[in-house]
Copies of this chain bind each other. A is one copy, B any other.
Amino acid sequence: MTEPNTIESMAAAARRAGKQLAAQTGQARVALLQALASALEAPARAAALLEANRADLEAANAALARGELSPALVARVALTESKLAALADGLRQLAAMPELLGARQVHRELDEGLVLERVSCPLGVLGVVFEARPDAVPQITGLALKSGNAVLLKGGSEALRTNRALVELIHAVLGEHGLDPACVGLLEDRAAFRGLLECHAQVDLIIARGSGRFVQLVMDSTKIPVLGHAEGLCHLYLHADAEPLRGAAIAVDAKCSYPAACNAIETLLWHAEARDATRAALAELAVRGVELRGDPATVELAQRLDIQPATEEDWGTEYGELILAVRQVASLDEALAHIERHGSRHTEAIVSTSEAAGEQFVRSVDAACVFVNASTRFADGYRFGLGAEVGIATGKLHARGPVGVEGLLTYRWLLRGQGHIASDYGPDKKPLRHRDLEN
């Protein structure tokens, strides 16, 4: 167990170790990620991981038998050889991605011998809290190492033994590369994580994954900036000219392929003229076992489906399961107004054959992701080609939407002169040149 009173020293050690990590070359960090990938597949090390995971799974199955855990959660705890291979593959892909750390973003001569640069650098120390999946440990660690950040991890208690074994493996690889293992730490219980939320001076960013309520709780409990999304209330809008097959396919994918995901839709909006597309979508959704809740026009449209009436509360509910609110709108503008009022600025999509309608939707919706004729489920770091993601951000500052390596970086302004003083410049004095140089 992590003692709460050791958290601050753990965070301070992570800060020091992170500085050492950040000082490594990009090449050295690539080699580190590749070694980590190989370690996950090395027979003896993989066996130790799978053994630790078996113990977690036994405990989880016992809890399942007592009705304390859901089958879905138990399934998430499981680690297999093929999962390890996929994780190793993910780390290798991340290793191969362009190096962003140390990139020069601005290069400007202010005057003779006075040169300004803006250079990317790590945030410093990340605190990440995530769900039961132990897969998250190597994934998040990979993003932290690639971006030169130290990271303190708090995973689900159901996977504690597996997470411990994974962090042990990571520590061994860090040690083999001459790096201080303190740059990756495991917080073993909630008290430890609560302690971390107090470490304002040591921790630069908290990344919170989990239910909206949990993320909100974290945001309310700390002065450290929190990256996460308290809600994923996404809409799909079928415009007047939506093709029935396309509309139905996107609706089913967006609702049914992973209903618990934050990028799954919670509300389907349909234009009064999109009767065929809407009927087709509702029929397909009902076949997949989706409970539909509709406004009067929707109930009337699909009388055979015996749709329950929606209440005002339904428009603001993130179900996270196979329930969908459905509402008719008189126009694209009415759909936009509904989304502006009820959306959580995560991902919003339109199905339409008209380019004008699609572009009006894109111009008007204020959300991290705005899609035309594509499922909301594409809102994902892997699918976007970021290599991986630590989460999806619905705030507007720093990083928005799926967050990969770039979202874990900040920058510093570096100015190198030869004794230059500011009082020499200004109106009626020397002018500054502001001549941009090559990056």
CA distance A64 to B381 in the complex (A): 59
Contact yes or no, B369 A423, CB < 8 A: no
Q: Are B257 and A423 in contact (CB under 8 A)?
A: yes
Chain B residue contacts of A367, Cβ below 8 A = 412
Chain A contact residues, majority secondary structure = mixed
- B114 and A374 form a contact (CB under 8 A): yes
Scan residues 355-369 of chain A and give those whose CB is less than 8 A from a CB of chain B.
358, 362-364, 366-369
Number of this chain's copies in the complex: 2
For A204, A252, A358, A420, the residue with the greatest tally of chain B CB atoms inside 10 Å of its CB is A420
| Given A369-B415, A384-B116, A427-B86, CB of A375 within 8 Å of CB of B421 | yes
Which residue on B lies nearest to A424, using beta carbons? B253
Please, which residue of chain B has its CB at the minimum distance from the CB of A89? B427
Contact of B250 with A421 in the complex, beta carbons under 8 Å? yes
Q: Given contacts A385-B108, A434-B385, are A368 and B412 in contact (CB under 8 A)? A: yes
**Is A416's CB under 8 angstroms from B371's CB?**
yes
Distance in angstroms between the alpha carbons of A364 and B385 in the assembled complex? 32
Q: A377-B421, A396-B124 in contact; A413/B23 too (CB < 8 A)?
A: no
- Taking the closest CB of chain B, its distance from the CB of A263, in whole angstroms, is 9
Write 24 A-B pairs (CB below 8 A) sorted by A numbering. Answer: A110-B378, A110-B384, A114-B378, A124-B366, A124-B396, A205-B396, A245-B419, A249-B419, A250-B419, A250-B421, A366-B412, A367-B412, A369-B413, A370-B412, A370-B415, A371-B416, A372-B416, A373-B416, A373-B419, A373-B420, A375-B423, A379-B413, A383-B432, A400-B412
Known pairs A372-B415, A401-B412 / 20 extra A-B pairs, C-beta < 8 Å: A108-B384, A110-B378, A116-B385, A124-B396, A205-B396, A250-B419, A253-B423, A254-B421, A257-B421, A362-B414, A371-B417, A372-B414, A373-B419, A374-B416, A374-B420, A378-B415, A383-B422, A384-B413, A400-B411, A400-B413
